[in-house]
A and B are shown apart, each in its own frame.
Chain A
Amino acid sequence: GNSVTQMEGPVTLSEEAFLTINCTYTATGYPSLFWYVQYPGEGLQLLLKATKADDKGSNKGFEATYRKETTSFHLEKGSVQVSDSAVYFCALSDQGSNYKLTFGKGTLLTVNP
């Protein structure tokens, strides 16, 4: 079955630091890959996605590249802000599983001023 493994947190950074949150996956088909973000007290929001190998998803300064050879979709941002403090979830979906999302356990990011 499908599974997602992401870097355990929590991660604490200073403002303007570089961020990487690792995510690897196992899937039987050709999945789409997602990063969702949950800000404090808010619901899940899509941050970015990639639907095929070598695609790069990007949004709000965050990027992730779909690497089929390493089954990875690592999230990066060059300079984090306090407002990026949130829980980040890596997820996948594929046709064989009716496109239901399989999530990683989430990584709590705290950015200090």
Chain B
Amino acid sequence: GAGVSQSPSNKVTEKGKDVELRCDPISGHTALYWYRQSLGQGLEFLIYFQGNSAPDKSGLPSDRFSAERTGGSVSTLTIQRTQQEDSAVYLCASSPIAGGSTDTQYFGPGTRLTVL
């Protein structure tokens, strides 16, 4: 079946512009996670959705970052007024439920964001 998809695969933007990154999880997966992969920081958690609600936003680095999820499916990560330190690969993962024996997370290919 279809895996997690993300778009765009690459995004180049100028400092100060806003960007939107999209994630389509595996159909039926209720848990959705955003992570960021950068050379300096490794893989970092950003935000977790269970259905449409986000009970854990503890990894969002600043109030310039926000995310939403609609219909228990597609999620959008928005970065406002981008800075050069936002340059990274943004990864989305989904799992059937959060926790228990089915807590394997399946990752999308990522969006490579470059802020000039």
Contacts and interface: CB of A to CB of B under 8 A. Distances in A.
Interface stretch (B16-24, B63-71, B75-83, B97-105): B97-105
A32 interface: yes
Contacts, number: 54
Interface size of B as a range: 20 to 34
B14 interface: no
Given A99-B31, A99-B99, A100-B33, A43 B56 contact: no
Interface majority SS (helix, strand, loop, mixed), chain B: strand
A110 B57 CA distance: 36
Given A43-B91, A43-B109, A100 B48 contact: yes
Interface of B: 31, 33, 35, 42-43, 45, 48, 50, 55-56, 59, 91, 93, 95, 98-99, 101, 103-110
